[in-house]
Structure 1
């Protein structure tokens, strides 16, 4: 089962050999400075956003790999019936969210990861919603220029 580890100044999602094969991905490593918020989602299915872009998706059994959505992409290693530690990342990181089901106490894991991150956004204890296209796009010019006017 995947583990969330702190190594040097990085956060590491360490995958077992079969998880690497299923996800078609190596371990995921991000700098601890990229961690924006760490939350615990008790309902595993609420951690999943967007659509599958690679990996293995067995309904009610296992969700592992990349998921794409309008806000970017997430990397998930989620098992039903287990709480999920959700690590939101600042823009510019390779993923928007890392979602990992953990064996250990998820609250202890989340607290440990929060202490690791120097740039935690503590404005809210909840995971942020995905941006809505049209609401986050820059406004276009509403007036057209007319010749001579």
Structure 2
């Protein structure tokens, strides 16, 4: 391949990257799904290339423009699908941990309630036994009714 052919190939590749960059900035990608955030890898993918094809050593101005744009529009871009998925997984993990903690608390409360119920039955029986012994030792005086 001659030098002029390489130059033309490089400039056409650079133009494809620039076009892909513009489409992603405008939110109208042709290859990637809509809403895909602008990144160096996504620009390469949108241009129909492997992400490793868009190297700083070969296309320093394009890469610099992408990096500057990403830096200045950091808060404006919606989170990527991967970031949303990771956030959702984290939330689900938190919910599973909360559910697990609540189940442990419920089980502990049910155990305490069962123990308390058993203790109430034991104390009621002891009270009945003590009342029976007291009645044996000290009979109750009959209740007198006043007649009309």
Q: TM-score if structure 2 supplies the norm length?
A: 0.28
Looking at both structures, which has the greater relative contact order when contacts are Cα pairs under 8 Å and sequence separation is at least 6? 1
| Largest Rg, 1 or 2 | 2
More helix by share: 2
Q: TM-score if structure 1 supplies the norm length?
A: 0.28
More strand by share: 1
